[in-house]
Amino acid sequence: MGTGYYLEHAPLPESSAVTLVDLNQNCLDAASQRLLAAHPHVAASDVVGDFLEPDAKAALAITESRLGGTKFDAISCMFLLHCVPGPAQRKAEGLQRLAALLKDDGVLFGTTILGKGVQHNMFGGALMKAYNNAGSFDNLEDDAEGIVQPLRETFADVKFEVVGTVLLFEARKPRSA
């Protein structure tokens, strides 16, 4: 969930219900406070969970039953994947599992900083390597195709664009499992 910056600035309708999911309770608390300060009319709930957990029975797995049986209109993964440990395939598999949580007309969208297939400027490249060395990022081998191709396998409608070093993606129409 990070800081909640995007939720703070989102144009949320008054009847919105927002479920925040993160592995870190401190991030959830900060994001929730920011969300509710900007949108006091929103119904917000927090869930400590891990979208990478493949075992639906695991305590931190993000499943429909753990989220109160809710299917979502939208799932946001803004500037998330480059912070997630593991190869792009593992991250994409986590995104694929989120398809089961979307309504038929729902959308999964997000952004991530790529490590491969893009040209980082000197400052950006040095900063990215420093964050990777510190363990804050794990994206040196992440490329657009490694994220997009698994989305194409799971969703009937996938759009993406690389802007500078950032992949923007949108996936709609989850295919039946």
Mind listing the pLDDT tens digit of every residue in the chain (177 residues)? 578 888 899 999 988 999 999 988 998 999 999 999 999 999 999 999 999 999 989 999 999 888 888 899 999 999 999 999 999 999 999 999 999 999 999 999 999 999 999 999 999 999 999 999 999 999 999 999 999 999 999 999 999 999 999 999 999 999 875
Distance between CA atoms of 2 and 12, rounded to whole angstroms?
A: 18
Domain extents for the chain?
A: 72-174
pLDDT of 6 reads: 87
pLDDT of 166 reads: 97
pLDDT of 93 reads: 93
Q: Supply the pTM of this predicted model.
A: 0.91
Provide the CATH topology of domain 72-174: Rossmann fold (3.40.50)
pLDDT of 177 reads: 54
